[in-house]
Each structure stands twice: as structure tokens, then as C-alpha cells.
A and B are shown apart, each in its own frame.
Chain A
Amino acid sequence: MRNIILLIQKYRNFLFFLFLEFIALFFLFSATNNYHHYNYLSSSNSISAGLYNFQYRMTSYFSLREINNQLMVENANLKNQVFNRDIVVGRKYIKHKDTTFKKNFLFKEVSVINSQYKFYKNNLIINAGTKSGVQKKTGLIGTKGLLGIVTNVSSNYASIRPIINPDFGLKILHKKSNSWGDLIWIPEENSFNNVYVKNIPIYTDVKEGDFFITSGAEGLFPRGVVIGRALSIKKNIEKQTLIIKVKLEEDFSSIKVGFVVKNQFKEELDQHLN
């Protein structure tokens, strides 16, 4: 017994190191493998997100002009869409102010108070949480295109898993041909302004500059939100697929505003998806 105590005394520093290391590694692996993150130990908790919010309020004044321009361009685009809406002739019925049609998607404007873009697993923080009706597994779009998916919500803030995170995965569409592809960001090969689109069949006619859009299949985003344009196209002969490098429309180093997408019929859709 005495020898055991002496042994522990002799190696107490090493044992203490092992103990703390074990806690740290437990945090690391349980936090990345578990969907239910530790709410209070992620960057969307009130203290850290509050500090980020303070920093955002200090620095956002310097980019007000830029934000304003972005919003004006988006406004102009939306006006174009609203006033030049084509009437589709030849469909069976036209809907017009009909109360039987419900709005499918609701948008809530938010500020992106912190945007990581140079790390391995990047994260965004927005200044809206459960109090504003933001829920887990809802989408976030920016003024130009897709941003990411809400992963963690506290009462006033939420953290987002952006496209530029290796854990992000989404089925997307090639706009011209309507072919399905998978969006993948590989941290070792992609920088923060491009991603890979894989698993599009080799016979699809994809040219440089073609748009890629969301499919709307998972109910996270409406169909047709722009992701980016094809930058370079390679062929994978063994798999008979194309590997397309896509330049993202959104510049993750300078996002300030975004819109949380709420799907009114998500629960109903989920019943069919699972």
C-alpha cells in the first residue's frame, strides 16, 4: 500500500496531466461526433457570442457602405423579379392571391457577427437565436448565395456550419441540365472561395461559368438559391463522373448580413424523407 502511494506521489504530475488530457480528448471526440453539442461550451454561448457581437458593433461601421451596396444590389434584383414576373401560359391553373396557398418559406434578416474562413472546421455566428424563432437545422442564405446550416442555438445567438466546413454536405443542381451533384469542401485542397461538386454524370454538358443552385429537396432552402459558378472541370474516368471546382458567389471573408430560412412545412416533409 505504501509503495502504491509513493508511486502515485512520484508520478503525480504525469497522472494529473493524463487526467486533464483525458478530459480534453473526451470533449474533443464527443463534441465532434455528437450532434447535440455542448451548448454552453460552443462559441454561440452568451459570453463568447456577446463579445463577438461587441466586436461586430465596433467594426461594422467601417463596412457600412459595402453592406449598403450589397443590399441595394439585392433589392434591385428582387424588384426585377417582382415586376417582370412572367405569366406562365399553358399550365392548368394560375394562382393569384388565393388563400388556399400558404407561404412555404419565411425569411428572417440577421447579422453575421463572426465569420471564420481560414480554419479547418469553420463556423459562423449570427445574432438571432431561439427568441427570434431560429431553430436547429434551418438554412442561412446571404445576399448573393448560400451560406450554411444552423447547428447550435442559444437564446440570442446561433452558430452556423457554412459551406466551407468539411462536415457540410448538400445535394445541389446544375442549373442548365438539372443534374444532381454533391457539394464537398476539402480543407486541404479548397480555399475559402471555392468548393468541389462531385458525382455529376460524365455525359452532362457542363461549361465554365455555369451556375449551380440548391435543389430544395431537403427542405432547408428554397429551390434555386445560387451557390456558385463552375471554375474548372475535370473528368474522373473510373467513376464516370465529373469533378467540378465551383467558385462561390459569397465571399466568406466579408459576410455581414444573411437571412435565416424557415420552412413552414419542414415537419411534413421530414415524414416523407425519413
Chain B
Amino acid sequence: MIFELKNIIWFFGLIFIQIFFVDALDFGTYSSFFSPVIITFFILKQRLNTTVFQLLIAAFFLGIITDVFRNTLGLNTSILLIITFLKPTFLYAISSKEDIEKDVDLNLFNIGVFRFLLFFGISIFTYHLLFFLLEQFSFNNFLTLLFRALINTLSALIFLIFLQYIFIYKK
């Protein structure tokens, strides 16, 4: 079930970390290259037996709340919905259907480092690429945009690995 307490805590926790920690980080002159979005983790980590209907609703509200805080109404929401819809495509592109159990959370420890990096990497990279394209609404400076998407994907992955080691890791 997506509406259980643990998930609700993750939902608001991720928004909180996104808005008040990740967005508030200062990298000096290069700040504009570091604006990773980590809220995708909530959608990507959900079990495989969660229905698409529930995932879409969760994605919509996750996106809208983040957008209200960042003052980019509709931007995160629309991309997050696309990623939610494409999640199975990404997952089955890197592994066969039998490889992953249907009732476990898709995190670093359950699906393995290699598959985590591939699956989350591809999804988050797509997210950032579409996000920057829609934000800019033109193909100007496409190489810079690709570079930004890549940097943000890497930093988001590093954040997520840290997060999982802090909050999920059990011996």
C-alpha cells in the first residue's frame, strides 16, 4: 500500500529535504549547475505491486507541493507524472521481470548497487533532461543543458545513496 505511515513520512520528508536542504546548498559561482531534484526517489522506490493509479496520484501531489515551494507551478508535476508512467519501462529495460520481487521497496540494498545506479540513473537523468528542456522551452545551448542534467543526476544519486544509508540501512 502506498498510503501507509512509512510512505507518508517519506513523502513529506523528501519534500522537506528537497526544499530546505538540497535547494539551500550554496556552491558559490557554480551554484546554477547544482540544482538536483531528489523527490523522484519516492516514486521510484515504490514496490512493483503498487498500482499505477496510486502512483500517479502520489506523483501529482508530490509534484504540486514541491512546485508551490519552488514557485514553478506545474513544472515538476508534469515531468514527475511522465517519469511515473515510464517507471516500468526503465526498470524492465535493465532487468527481467523475474529478477525483482514484487513486494519489496526498490532501494540500494534490495536491488543491488549496479541495478540501483542504472535504474535510478536513467530515470533521474531523464527527469532532469526533460525538466530543463521544459523550463527553458527551447533547444538553445543544448550541450550546456545536457551537461547540467548529467551533473545534477550524479549529485542526486550521491544524495540518495547517503539518504538510504542514513534512513534505510540495517545490518
Interface residues of A (CB under 8 A from B): 12-14, 16-17, 20-21, 23-29, 31, 37-38, 41-43, 45, 48, 51-52, 55, 116-121, 123, 159, 187-189, 191-193, 253
Contacts and interface: CB of A to CB of B under 8 A. Distances in A.
A43 B85 contact: no
B71 A43 contact: yes
A12 B53 CA distance: 9
Contacts of A20: 56, 59-60, 77, 81
A117 B56 contact: no
Contact of B78 (A28, A37, A42, A119): A28
Nearest to B85: A17
Contacts, number: 109
A187 B32 contact: yes
Interface string B62-76: 011001111111110
The 4 nearest A-B residue pairs measured at CB: A28-B74, A27-B74, A24-B78, A118-B31
Interface string B149-166: 000000000000000000
B123 interface: no
A187 B144 CA distance: 11
The residue in B52, B73, B134 that gathers the most chain A C-beta atoms within 10 A of its C-beta is B73
B146 to A, nearest CB: 12
Contacts of A13: 52-53, 56, 85
A22 to B, nearest CB: 9
B11 interface: no
B144 to A, nearest CB: 6
A25 B69 contact: no
Nearest to B138: A188
A192 B82 CA distance: 30
B141 interface: yes
A67 B107 CA distance: 43
B135 interface: yes
B103 interface: no
B136 A120 contact: yes
Given A118-B27, A253-B31, 17 more contacts: A12-B53, A16-B52, A17-B52, A24-B63, A25-B74, A27-B77, A28-B73, A42-B71, A55-B20, A55-B24, A118-B32, A119-B72, A187-B32, A188-B140, A189-B141, A192-B31, A253-B26
Contact of A118 (B35, B63, B145): B35
A48 B69 CA distance: 6
14 contacts: A13-B56, A16-B53, A20-B59, A24-B60, A27-B67, A28-B77, A43-B68, A43-B69, A51-B19, A119-B70, A120-B136, A188-B140, A189-B141, A253-B31
B134 to A, nearest CB: 8
B83 to A, nearest CB: 11
Contacts of A25: 74, 78
A192 B52 CA distance: 40
Nearest to A25: B78
A117 B31 contact: yes
Nearest to B145: A188
B144 A188 contact: yes
B96 interface: no
B29 A123 contact: no
A38 B73 CA distance: 9
Nearest to A120: B135
A12 to B, nearest CB: 8
A26 B74 contact: yes
A100 B20 CA distance: 50
